[in-house]
Structure 1
């Protein structure tokens, strides 16, 4: 590998003088030039900039640009401690000052990452080439590093490519080139597991007008929905169409055989237990579909009857408790599948899935699948191809404590029903523990939004003889809502990252107007909303907000209590 400037390059550089030529050097859009002649001029100017940064008498002084001579591979020191090592099919990039791990990047891979206007249409954002078009022997002609961006001028490019072709990437893109909206390991997106005590303090209520028109308040609401899986909207106009407006603020409606939106009210000869006045236990919706809806909305239009309270529990919290206390049973529910079905005259749906569905990449909990009202016959895969010929041995095997039927192997080619029953019972006990269940009765003009792949919901029995109960519902797919989450992080990254599960709370007594008034005024001075429909037990604000107020109000300071 040789360092700039070369004799040929110095000859080109001497012919490029004057401010007009140097203006190309400062342009960050030079790689977008399509004309071949202009691209050649651009390439020469680009090299001139690299040569100007090299001291003519200090041969080993760090440079920002190198010739890519892969026939003589070696390492070149660049600016600020960066190093590039060239090989015949890849390069190594090391940038110590940015705490970036050393990256091994093949030339084919780098060429495939190109996002220049020649490779990705600026309007449609779609690629104009195929991965299979890239020559396996593609090589860089020149490589440049400017302390943030890696730029390559290609020597052998895809067939049909004319003129000089530059590819340019920021180092953060090279480290993480994909925006994976399903990545649960992102530091800015960790779920906040909750029980009753935490949800009573952390519940998020947002006014309908703020939800629809105030971008920052909407982002705060989405942040809470992503963290806890459960938020509430209040002050909604009395209209059946409002649930669609609230839902489409997050993303497109999910259509099912129930319709784009649907009603939850008592009907005769109901095809779903939700359309009765009976008690409805904890469950998740549409587990029998190949892709269950990700988020559910229930907008209360009427709820004047006795009963009908809504119950919610964090299945992730219950699963986490089970994992810590009964790891064997937890692992069992990650492997064994349950079946769910919906069988009626005009619709037949069926699917199987594990109770705890893990992320294949991280091994962490990705979804919980739990819906006893729609559970079908437990699938029992055949343990042996000729199991039918061994049925006579089955009864005696059940009484053998060393039998494989009572000691399932990791592949789970069969199901131990005793183990399954015990594991499900443990999980159910955690879900239904009074300390884990958040209960409230929705009032007209209020809407709950929750994660259907994490939060289980239930409903108490109600008596329509003393009133009526009517909720309007809708679904939005996981992809749409997670897309909205990531848009919110880009629009207001500071607001999104500001969420703190260890927020401080100002408790106040509703029966003591003076105490309530002081707490409300303190919260309003800090610019933070109240919880519990605007008249609950706590006013919440963040620790940094407290820090600026502690010297101003001794009474308020005494009321501060750290969240459990």
Structure 2
């Protein structure tokens, strides 16, 4: 059995209706494509077929019929209308602006955020999902909360044992609509992603520079800067103080630094018998850092402390742009790079790191291999640190290695195409931050005998970066993103 409740617009009359319906939830056009809409229809039909023949819900009078003037008392009385059916059920159907959606009472109860269920200070849950009775049933009614406005209040017949007899769960209309949108997008495999893919011309025109003092002092500008870093994968700072600690201060505005065997920070200087090619004056080709670890850093920061050696220009390439072009021009090569295992390693006297991953990683729940759908999670490409292939790959008549060779040749050609490379020589007092899981970086050779070249580096993990970005987006934009779904900041 399912109880149905319709939520009206403010200042609209309510009436009781007794017929079944199946309507598609509202889809946000900016987030959901045709595939998601189809998934939404399928989900609704399945929900409707599972309902009992008795369907009850409140619904608002048509906007074409103007509501009669009401006193505040009359409006409140109508908004607190109780279901005539009044019987508890395991599913409650709610109609928001003419669109019906059925919610499982376990979901509604588990999502309760009242002080009995979530500690107001720590924000941590005070009960377990496993505490909810399997035969949980409930009823819902629309009420006017003094602080939250119009909300749905749910009562439970057999609540969580730790809850008081007077416990009620309240959910705002906006929260329920957000839950509907999130479910539809996750089921459809559609990912909201605002990343902007670029070539040389585009990044040259849209590159973002920010003054160090502004970056450090203004949360508004920090929000703008980190949002740009997320969409483009590249951000530059100027007027950075001549201090070895400056890179720590820049990274700490985002969050904790990632400590590795290189240390919390590290120096890029030319030195004899270098254990890393970056510590030589030689040409260093396009690569990503620490792909030989299980969780490579998301952000890399490089602060130029000394730039007195001729040459040594840095250049960058958007691997997602190259992957998009590869999928469009050579779809078979794209599929090969999504599946063929490549091993990276770092093997020295005191360290031995080793990890295998495909060149292109897709989001695990994505239903599309089209990069224009932003299904790519990461690109892994670091030729200087590539380990030998396993013998099984190169033995016998296995054709996969030949397929990989053909695919990686095309991919590298796209990455290194001059039209896709952005080149810039970092001057003293400048710092670059880039997405290490997307933007490849390289360096031209320089003359270490003619002057000093010294960069101070640091890393930041993905969870740290996205946590800060969500906090800022929620504060300044009223929305945030997780698991590829854009969510409104609803209390």
Q: TM-score range by the shorter chain?
A: 0.7 to 0.9
Shift of 1:112: 0.8
Contact 1:216-1:495 within 8 A present in 2 as well: no
What SS does the corresponding residue of 2:325 show, helix, strand or coil? helix
Superposed CA RMSD in Å reads 3.3
Deviates more, 1:74-83 or 1:120-129: 74-83
Answering whether residue 438 of structure 2 is matched by residue 454 of structure 1, we say yes
1:164 aligns with 2:166: yes
Equivalent residue of 1:466, what SS? coil
Q: Which runs of 5+ in 1 are unaligned?
A: 4-49, 63-69, 384-390, 399-404, 407-415, 498-564
Among 201, 208, 211, the alignment partner of 2:212 is: 208
Instruction: Give the whole-Å Cα distance in 2 for the aligned partners of 1:495 and 1:92.
Output: 26
Instruction: Give yes or no for contact 2:15–2:60 (8 Å, CA) kept in 1.
Output: no
Structure 2 distance, partners of 1:280, 1:121, is 52
- How far off is 1:381 after superposition? 5.5
Question: Which one of 107, 120, 123 corresponds to residue 122 of structure 1?
Answer: 120
The answer to whether the Cα contact below 8 Å between 1:219 and 1:495 also exists between their aligned partners in 2 is: no
Q: For residues 379 and 114 of structure 1, do their structure 2 counterparts lie closer, same or farther at Cα, with a shift above 3 Å needed? A: farther
Name the CA distance, whole Å, in 2 between partners of 1:496 and 1:139.
Answer: 32
User: How far, CA to CA, are the matches of 2:150 and 2:344 in structure 1?
Assistant: 52
Give me the whole-angstrom Cα distance separating, in 1, the residues matched to 2:479 and 2:135. 46
Change (3 A) 1:236 1:461: same
Q: Which residue number in structure 1 is paired with residue 134 of structure 2? A: 136
Structure 1 residue 93 displacement after superposition: 1.8
CA distance in 2, matches of 1:236, 1:277: 24
3-state DSSP of counterpart to 1:250 = coil
Matched, 1:440 2:424: yes
Change (3 A) 1:337 1:176: farther
Residue 150 of structure 1: how far off its partner (Å): 2.6
Partner of 2:95: 94
Per-residue CA distance 1:23-58 (angstroms, 9 max, x = gap): xxxxxxxxxxxxxxxxxxxxxxxxxxx9xx999xx9
Higher relative contact order (CA 8 A, sep 6+): 2
Contact 2:90 2:135 in 1 (8 A): yes
Unpaired runs of at least 5, structure 2: 19-50, 63-78, 369-374, 482-491
- Contact between 1:54 and 1:61, CA under 8 Å: does it hold in 2? no
Q: Which moved more, 1:162-171 or 1:268-277?
A: 162-171
Preserved CA contact (<8 Å) 2:289 2:436:
yes
- Cα deviation 1:477-508 (Å, max 9, x = unaligned): 011111111112112118999xxxxxxxxxxx
Q: Aligned residue pairs: how many?
A: 407
What is the rounded CA distance, in whole Å, between the counterparts of 1:322 and 1:304 in structure 2? 39
Counting only pairs closer than 5 Å after superposition, residues 398-417 of structure 1 correspond to structure 2 as 398=397, 405-406=398-399, 416-417=400-401
Q: What residue is the counterpart of 1:402 in the other structure?
A: none
Question: Partners in 2 of 1:107 and 1:2 — Cα distance?
Answer: 10
Alpha-carbon shift at residue 78 of structure 1 (Å): 3.9
Map 1:109-258; keep pairs closer than 5 Å. 109-144=107-142, 149-177=151-179, 187=192, 189-258=193-262
Structural mapping, 1:39-438, within 5 Å: 60=16, 73-79=54-60, 88-96=89-97, 102-144=100-142, 149-177=151-179, 187=192, 189-362=193-366, 363=368, 364-379=375-390, 394=396, 398=397, 405-406=398-399, 416-438=400-422
Instruction: Write the distance in 1 (CA, Å) between the matches of 2:61 and 2:220.
Output: 39
TM-fit CA distance, 1:333: 0.6
SS at match of 1:421: helix
Tell me how far 1:171 sits from its aligned partner. Answer: 3.4
SS of the residue 2:210 aligns to:
strand
Q: Deviations over 1:341-398 (max 9, x none)?
A: 1111111111111100000122411100111111112246589xxxxxxx8xx4xxx4
